[in-house]
Structure 1
């Protein structure tokens, strides 16, 4: 859904593979490179890597066993339930992995699309499991996890162990001469005259310095390794892009239906309370005038004159209502003229610049027009601005709108204001609304719409 992204924004919400920690958002005196080895995030990522190996072995053995057994038994009826049970078990492993990734990596991945059996009973469920693409993606994850977990476990344990062992070598090297019968760690061992030990202060210091470098590098190696895990979990254990898009379109369709219903209710209310009420009163006045025409012509003439004025007011209300549905100037002359007409009616001086060499589809033009209209109304009512500006241009296949003012600022999409409804309307057509409105101003609202040829 479109929302307020601040200075930078992106159309599609994607997971942050870097992860976030509360301690990372707090100010620190130590640089990130020095504190990384002792941060909670590093230890959680190390724990995730250590757990991946036993879980990877278990999931690989389960997947291979159930698939092999199920495929081998397909010549009999037993193979189908065995294969379905294997897929269902892999989906359970996927649920465990999503929970583990959420707790240790800070990666929140939604569950895949649920199974939709056609009918009831075990046969319908088995058919849904076998036909589900998410089930087979879980199987693929179970197969890929073992080789990757072996590699990541080996790299992580080697760097972690050797880094800390060498870094703390000055604290425990005395164990070798006291209990091991040698002067220190042996680097080279030949005959009695060609043995090299790390036993003097210089060599001990070099060992500790090397361990420090390895220890400082280990968190970044862990982050690189767990980035691959994040990609695997997000790509194979979450909902497919198609299913996500379907859910998004269903939500957008609901927004469009609600918006259309709200517009119809507004039109009905405006007609009932405005033009219709005036026309009813006009009909009654003309009826009274007709009755008085014979006995009091002068009074009847005054009543007809008043009715004539009411007709003019009713016609103006109908014109305003028609302009609110779809202005004729927009259809005839495009956004430039229509937005200039809007700016002329605004209570704040507005400078309009439209740089378009062609016109988009009528529906996109209408949405752009009413977006600017609502933003200018907000400026008139709430901003306290002295002047405003409207810029419209095309950027590749997108129609860009930007409305600025030098008012008091403080506009917020998340506050439940009209901006939130406007953002939902834009999102229904794959649009985006971005609001940059610090306290004290100025305010810049940028809208992005798809460019569709008429």
Structure 2
């Protein structure tokens, strides 16, 4: 029968004394404790060197990141569960991109806090716990000291002056009896320390959330690419063919000038229906992903939305550079949906649209002087906006008291 191996020191200690002491877990825990002191010594020396060089003084704030990476690797000694990094994948390449991204992450400061706790507390506890093992080992090996070092004269131990072999073997018996207890203590300490370390430097739940966020962003990118492909296919395919049909029907109308009225009326109706269908198709293509957004960017696309709005719109856009494609498309979608809601529900006389960059965020605001009272629960498209914004990990706010004004604000991360 296959027995599942324990994946953590806590579970290993519940297997029974003989099975536990005969397993690798006590020694893995000992290795975890002893290497903790070694890692602390190296890390403190490295940080001291950084502090001594003024040019690298700021790097001390990021010194917890490499220590946390080593600690996640050392967790394998006492905990076989994965310990993923809480840091998301970099968007901007290069050293400065890495520094900028890491300074803005909560995980970086949590790891710095762990580094201080590690250097000022945990490393010293590692040394004390490791010293317990050294004491037990010292007692077990005492007869060897008496034989190899005849002049060795230790102080009294447990009331014995162990200068002769009988007393030395008595100390060995004490060491042998003490060692299992020490190994249990070391394993319990290592397991608790590993749990604390995982909480501070790994956070697998946070890693899962970040992976879900990245997966959602990838799905959004794929959907955006699919919309662009559909828009291109409709524009270059069905729309062009329908234009050809309209031209043919127009020529047919000219050729049927002397035909019976019934035939002329049928061709005329077909011509008008084809033109109406072409208009609807153009609106559909434009609603999927406007070509002007791809070619000229968000300012031109928003200006086009404003021109076609039934309510006067004042646009103020200040963007030093084009935002990423998904962010740009979402901003256009939000503004378009907001203008539709204003036209249908607000009775407004004026609309103001503002778009600007605020650090790593694209901020947009749509404000009108209508009657207010907008409620997402009434199904006015606001819930769809919130869902669309949340895909990019953005934030949406709505202020719409009865009597107005209504202010819709959206923040979309650009990095």
Q: Which has the higher contact order (CA 8 A, sep 6+)?
A: 1
TM-score, normalization by structure 2: 0.45
TM-score, normalization by structure 1: 0.42
